[in-house]
Each structure stands twice: as structure tokens, then as C-alpha cells.
A and B are shown apart, each in its own frame.
Chain A
């Protein structure tokens, strides 16, 4: 499944070469019929985050203060961790924890 992931607000610093936009191919998660945000987060944690994962993940969700948008829509409206993803979705992560 092809996804475009964007990281902002300082989260890009946790990734290789601080790259903001990542076009990725995410394999189906074990035991999941459809890809969900929960599966994506664990994939991102193991495959993209290079340092300080605690700045991104807390428990099995994003750290509070990190905003998530799926196709420009607040993920809280899409089901949060249970939100289902489809091919070519754009998921944006923005941290609000870095001062203003």
C-alpha cells in the first residue's frame, strides 16, 4: 500500500536526514485485514524513526501534542488508532511540543 507521510513541527528531526516527506510502501500488518493507523504507527516506529522514538510514540499511540491528519482531516474524526487507511492516502504528523 502506497502512502505519503509528512512530518513537521520538529518530528522530521527524528528521521534520517531530517526528511519531511516520505513516500512509502507499507506492507500489510500481521493479522490485520485492513491497514489501520495503529499498524502504521508501529511500522513508522520500526522503519522510519532513527532517534528518540519517545518524542513520537507514547504507548501504542502518538505522543499527546502530536497532531495527525489523514487526507487533510483530523484523525480524531476518522477513528484515531482504528482509522482505516487506503492506498495513496496522505498522513501528516505535526508536533506542537517545540515551543512557538
Chain B
């Protein structure tokens, strides 16, 4: 177990800089998820922590030791790869014991440790099989087993679940979480799937184009995105985004979207002058319909026209148009059966509204 610190870490390939001065402090036994679109540099950061990529600038510190010049094998980190990277010619047992064998551990100790890890991952019946004789989920387990037998300081996961089908992914996600609760090993987990990020992370790090956009707990990045990119990237369906102008109408502070007015909750937008353009963000689940409307103040109600409705079992997704102009996605509880073209009452949790600066796209306040 160890803390990990990245200080102004750069990565350049020739003239191309792909990671631009990343600063990140990861606490002991923390589960950190690096998330971002393809090419954002998340895997590069992970590989730099592993030592598989040379650091072009800055420092990486693991457990108080600068590891810039330390080779991967001496960093005491274990990594699980997207395609599992199991050794095809070795049995499950040999795969899991390989790192111990390389560390010259006695054969009996290796057998005991492999047995223990296999027990945790329920791999005992498969120990003598080759990876090619296993299903995707089982291979995934072996890859994890290979990582946990060593009791490393840090676990590194590089999109470990993306080769699994949806159901298995959910299951493995929960198992990963349980494993972390049990082992309490510092973990850095890379994914492009924001659901994995939300469900697994103690803290999420959102990366874009080699820059950190935001570091925060899942709720923080969901409710208080640092910029429009994070607002759109985290959450599915993504946040509804509109252009507006701050105004005071009848003594009430609000954001005007043409004719439509989104009232600002108390204290919000106090520092913003009337007439200032802003970007407004509203989560789909901050939109209420049906009996949930009653919990909202009357003044936050209005009507909308339904364009499309999808029932997803326990909740529904609706595409609606407010004031004939503003199209938005609403994610509402219960099964809302509305036909296209129907006019239905709708309410907004305006206290959850976020404002961004149109120029910098950063969050205001």
C-alpha cells in the first residue's frame, strides 16, 4: 500500500506533447479513476506510473520514492490490461505465479499464494487450464489474480472491462469494488466508460487532450462539473446545455433563454451583472414530471411538448421541447407514457442548475 504523487508530469513523443503537466495526489488505498475520451492521455499517464513509458518531464512518486528512473519491475505495481495479456502458453496457475517465480520465491510459497488468490477469485477449478480454454470473464479473473498474488503497492487497471459483455461488465465491476474494499490497495483505474468511473471511484480524474479537467468525488463531478466538457462527458444522458443571459425580471434574478426564464436559486449568480451571457447546464434528472412535480415549488413548473419517450423499465427518458425552442432530455422516475406531440406539465430543480462562462467554458462560482 502506498500513496502515489504525480508532479508536473509531461509526456512528449518527439515534438508532440500528449500529457501537459499533470499534477495529481493519490492517497493510500484510494480508488482513483482516470476517465476521458480516446486520446486524452489517460492510458499514457497510467503507463508512466507503471514505468512502461518514459516520463518526459516532472516526477512520479510512489510511496515517497521518486520512481522516474526505476524500472517497472522494481516499482511494485501490478497492471491489468484491456486484452488481459495472459501468457498463452502457460496454465492459469503458471500465469498467476509467474511474477512470484520471477522474484525467486520458493515453489511451495508460490503454490500457496496462487491457491489463495484463486480462492478469492473462484478460479480453483480452472487452475490447470490454458487461457485459450477460458471464457472472457474467466480470463479477466486470471488477469486480476495475476495482479493480486503479488500484493503490490499499487494496482493499475487499463480499461479492464471493455472486452466483456454488458452483463458481465456490471458483475465484474461490483467484484472489483468488493476486491478493493477487501484488499485496500491503492488503485488507478483507466476507463472511457463514465458509469464505471462513477460507480468505482473514490475520486474521478477527468482528462481531455492531456490536461486534467477536474478531480473530484463522483457526486462532485456530477453535480458541480468544472467546465462544459465535464458536464457533457459525465452523466448519461449528458447534461442539457443552453446559451442564456443573466437578467433581473420583476425583481427576480434569472437566466433568460429567449422568452424562457430559468430562475436562479438564492445566492446563485449574485456576482454576475445583468446582460452577462452564460451557458446553462441542467442534468436530465433535474427535470421532473408526473407525481414528482409536487415536490417542486410552483414557480419552477411549466409545460413542454413531448418529442419522443423511451421507457427503460424503472425510469423513462423523454425528449421534450420547452417554449417551442429549447430541446432537452429528461430522465424521470417511473413510467411516463406520453405520446409525441402531447403537451405535459414539467418542473425543474433549478437549484441544481450550473452556470458556465461562454468564453472559457469554466463553471462560474
The answer to whether A and B assemble together is no
